[in-house]
Structure 1
Amino acid sequence: MSESAPKPTQAPAQAPAPVTSTVSPSKTPAPTRPTPRHLPRWKVLLHNDDVNDILFIVLTVQDIVHLNQKDATLRTIEAHRTGVSLLLTTHQELAELYQQQFTSKNVTVTIEPEE
């Protein structure tokens, strides 16, 4: 009979214990978010136009500022009768964009700060 040497037994591998740290709650309050400031509002004003057809102006207003036909018509007629009509108010950058878009269609629009 042959004698065999005892085989060494290995303990199953164990994962290392997770490292935890204890952090005491801080006494300082959490930082607060700054309150958002509203951007200043700007008026986009449509001026009377003796060159372009009223229908063209109504369609241009509808196309650029997305007013429905009734509102675009009312504002165009107001500009025709009184010389100027308020189309909308928005922040300055968007008002400038609207002004450029109307200018590209040869329709007179100005912008000014809302009071």
Structure 2
Amino acid sequence: MPKPDVSLVPPRVDQLPPFKVLLHNDDVNDMLYVVDTIVDLTPHTRRRAAELMLEAHTGGVALLLVTHKEHAELVRDQLRAKRLVASIEPDA
């Protein structure tokens, strides 16, 4: 029986390079709206979402989550669709 071509097998999600999803402060969105959006789009609790919102508000940026690139891009795009300022970067 021939061996499968390993070059055709996609890498497992837990083996993909990690990426950070960052939330940036903005002067447009209401704090409650930001908390609600974080809760809707991430696995964070309301309490943690409020902490992250305050971190972004006071420090300029907060780390929302670390995940593989495709999921990080999805979450970033969902946050942007809700008018929040978000970016991703490799987790070095």
TM-score (norm 2): 0.84
Identify the structure with the greater strand proportion: 2
**In angstroms, what is the RMSD of aligned CA positions?**
1.5
Letter in 2 for 1:60: T
Q: Which has the higher contact order (CA 8 A, sep 6+)?
A: 2
Q: For residue 45 of structure 2, what is the aligned residue in structure 1?
A: 68
1:46 aligned onto 2:23: yes
SS at match of 2:15: coil
Q: Which has the larger radius of gyration?
A: 1
Q: Which runs of 5+ in 2 are unaligned?
A: 7-11
The whole-number CA distance in structure 1 between the counterparts of 2:26 and 2:53 is: 9
Structure 1's unaligned 5+ residue stretches are 1-30
Richer in helix (by share): 2
Q: Distance in 2 between matches of 1:104 and 1:45?
A: 15
